[in-house]
Structure 1
Amino acid sequence: MPSPSPSPSAVTRLPRDSHDAPAGERPSARSRLFLPLIAVCTAVTAANIYLAAPLLPLIADDFGSTPSAVAWLASVAQLGYAAGLLFFAPLGDSVNRRRLVAVLSLVAAAALVAGAAAAGTGALAGAVLIASVATVVPQLLVPLVAERAPADRRARHVAAVIAGLFTGVVAARVLGGLIGQAFGWRVVFVGAAVLTAALGLATAFVLPVERRRRSGPLLAGLAALPSVVRRSPDLWRACVRQAGMYGAWSALWTSLALLLTGHGGDGYGMSTAAAGLFGLFGLASSAVAPLAGGLVDRFGAAKVVRSAYLLAAVSVPLFWLGGQVMAALCAAAVLVHAALVASHVANQTLALTTTSTPATANTAYVVAGFAGGALASALAGPAFGHWGWAGVCAVAGAWLLLGWAATAVPKR
């Protein structure tokens, strides 16, 4: 894989702390823990972004509001994550990742504790925003994983981290709903804070020791984002297509609690705990990620992305039917998660290998995806309030159409 550009930084690794053990030498415990711990840390930190979504009915009840009136909290988390990516993820090419991972994990944990103590939606939104800004640890680590992976297994290594990410998303919905129903939503926030601090510090410990000497401005990677995307049509296409895919998924998944817990024509009247269990269908993503990685390594990213978009297109009408038929909703949940993770593995592998500055390119890719997701979520809440579940499905379908149509003609 191409090495990062020498302009932002130069890197010197301490020889005995490298994970690349010399031939014939047994890998250290730190080396063996490298990929599994990064995957678990990714699961925990990714869960923070979606922590509020399954708890919206409980938060609304606590603050004397309605679930649709506080649905915007899910968008705050996604926008905060996108902002954190813009400022922190490009630093993976220029600063000491061990220190940055540790500091961001502690900041995110502190913000989650503050959120648990919030007395109103304004204070909670501020805490969620800060926690999400600091929850960028996975995207500091994915470029490192891709860099260290053998070329013929790179997509599979990236897929292992992505599987952890989506496992965290599922855990946020399932465990968050169950624990929130039993002990209250504030306990969920405190538990997430403890796990974030513990896993973040443990992950920082197993990372390679790096001595980075910056030769340019601290935010040089951020300033370089537009030119990096402009020079790489493959990166631009990956960014736009993932924004469409992630936006469609986000509109559906962040609004699902409103459908499952709602009453009357648009709702199944479930409890928060029962609605949270619906998130188990998201485990399809964790199962698909390794398979998608192997397919990308064998057939290339473009074919996998096309297949993923086809699956997502089939899932949208099934979601619409699922407003009345539970079996259709279950099938749609499996399909959309399979589509999202396959698209993500393919597009992120492409983003990480198409330029000489992988951390900066990865930042552009993930920011594009989360910006698309945040905007779709922001529209999905009002759409549900005005047109019910059909309005949410319309937003998802529009996002898929925009994501594919915008890249159908090759960018010169």
Structure 2
Amino acid sequence: MRASPRTTPTPGAPAASSAATAPRAATAPTPADARRGPRTGVLLTVLSVCTGVTAANIYLATPLLGLIADGFGVAPSAVGWIASLAQLGYAVGLLFFAPLGDTADRRRLVWMLSALAAVALAVAACAPGSAALAAAVFVSCAATVVPQLLIPLVAERAPADRRGRHVGVVVTGMFAGSVAARVLGGLAGQAYGWRPVFLGAAVLTLAIGLLTAAVLPPETRPVRRSHPLRAIAGLPRLVASSPGLRAACVRQAGLFGTWSALWTTLVLLLTSDGTYGMATATAGLFGLFGLTSALVSPAAGSLIDRFGAHRVMVTGYALTAVSLPLFWLGGHRLWALCAGAVTLHAGFTAGQVANQTRALGSSSSPAAANTAYVVSCFAGGAITSALAGPAFAHWGWNGVCAIAIGCAALGWAGGALAARER
């Protein structure tokens, strides 16, 4: 497979297609490659299921914290940090494993990481205490970066006029997995206990990992020795050299930060006596609004192929902007909170697919570019999550909404500046 000739995009100009925002467009697989690999529909289905199952592991502990605390005979506050450690493990895995997708055999990486995650989840199911459970969760989430190996592969092999659609299908699995972990994981834990949930996740992770490794097409680029630390050290230079990648990183960090500020503190608003006073289980049902993301992402991918990533990204930001006054009004009106939740997820998801499509096409090293992109998003979300809790304690829901508005504005303005050629 050969890369198409480089083109120089006009800074700030909307593209006619997702390929127009990218210096390097991946070419379609040759007939010989197609004969050696599965049909596109089968491959995308397997990859989407794999991303859903593996991404769910990151959020698996969150709905089970109460049951875990009861099982260990401690207060819920004594195990709450395990959910945060899961995010840290994922960040570490992104830095060390995701860039290897540019140089290593991805089939081998997928089955090795899936096996490691499955073993860690099985150990978590048998953990005698919170420290052992936290260590096992950290390792399992560090190995749960398989989706960030598969998304660059999909973008690399997809025809330029269908790249957004293919990326959107796989990203759908990620959103569906995160919702399933929060909703179905909690229900299964209530019915069977938290240990069987971790054990079941281990079996699913191993099974889908081996299936995915089996159906992945052969590599079309040379496989060479990988150096994780060298790959990490090269990320700043990669971001500095690509205006498109810089803009995608900053803009999605703004969207993810806005989403995190509102969504991580929403349970505090819903359960506080001064406003809604809902039970924790009832408030948890708001996680079902995350299904909006699973519905929007494939549509966003198709729209990118038709109208370009820039227009879909602008639409995502516009929807997010509409959701902000709804969330502010939702401090006292439940209907506005529900409408804001749907609009926010739609805007966040459209921006996610558009910005990730642009990031993947911005470099001849898509796995490294994807690593920089996801780490930037994670950083934006982590910062606003850390600020939103104290803001709610001091200024209430208005303080949280102010942080969300400021993050969205910074993401838009910073993205515009980052898109300029140096």
TM bucket normalised to smaller? 0.7 to 0.9
Partner of 1:371: 379
Match of 2:351 among 323, 343, 367: 343
Q: Identify the match of residue 234 of structure 1 among 223, 244, 250.
A: 244
Corresponding position: 1:250 with 2:284: no
TM-score norm. by structure 2 comes to 0.84
Task: Give the 3 Å change call, closer, same or farther, for CA 60–259 of structure 1 in structure 2.
Answer: farther
Instruction: Normalising by structure 1, report the TM-score.
Output: 0.86
Q: Could you tell me which residue of structure 1 aligns to residue 361 of structure 2?
A: 353
1:118 & 1:386 partners in 2: Cα distance? 38
- Post-superposition shift, 1:330? 1.5
After superposition, where does 1:108-257 map in structure 2 within 5 Å?
108-210=117-219, 212-214=222-224, 217=227, 219-257=229-267
Aligned equivalents of 1:364, 1:114: Cα separation in 2: 31
Cα separation, partners in 2 of 1:39 and 1:216, compared to 1, 3 Å: closer
**2: distance between equivalents of 1:362 and 1:159?**
15
Aligned residue among 78, 89, 93 for 1:80: 89
1:115-173 CA-to-partner distances (Å, cap 9, x unmatched) read: 33445544433332222211100110111111111111110000001111111111112
1:263, CA displacement in angstroms?
A: 4.7
Q: 2:333 aligns with which of 319, 325, 329?
A: 325
Q: CA deviation at 1:29?
A: 5.2
How far is the alpha carbon of 1:400 from its aligned partner?
Answer: 1.8
Displacement of 1:335 in angstroms is 1.0
- Residue identity in the other structure for 2:200: G
Residue equivalent to 1:286: 294
Deviation at 1:82, TM superposition (A): 1.9
Structure 1: gaps (5+ residues):
5-17
| Other-structure match for 1:9 | none
Deviation (angstroms), 1:395: 3.5
Aligned to 1:11: none
Amino acid at match of 2:325: P
The corresponding residue for 1:41 is: 50
- 1:374–1:164 distance in 2 versus 1, CA, 3 Å: same
Question: 1 CA distance for matches of 2:108 and 2:58?
Answer: 22
Percent identical residues: 60
- Structure 2 contact 258–381 (Cα < 8 Å) conserved: yes
> C-alpha root-mean-square deviation of aligned residues, in Å?
2.9
Question: What is the CA–CA distance in structure 2 between the aligned matches of 1:31 and 1:202, rounded to whole Å?
Answer: 15
Give me the whole-angstrom Cα distance separating, in 2, the residues matched to 1:379 and 1:61: 29
CA apart distance, 1:28: 6.4
Q: Which amino acid aligns with 2:328?
A: W
Question: Mapping of 1:270-309 within 5 angstroms?
Answer: 270-272=279-281, 274-309=282-317
Q: Partner of 1:79: helix, strand, or coil?
A: helix
Matched letter for residue 365 of structure 2: T
Q: Evaluate the alpha carbon distance shift between residue 330 and residue 80 of structure 1 in structure 2; reply closer, same or farther with a 3 A threshold.
A: same
CA apart distance, 1:90: 0.8
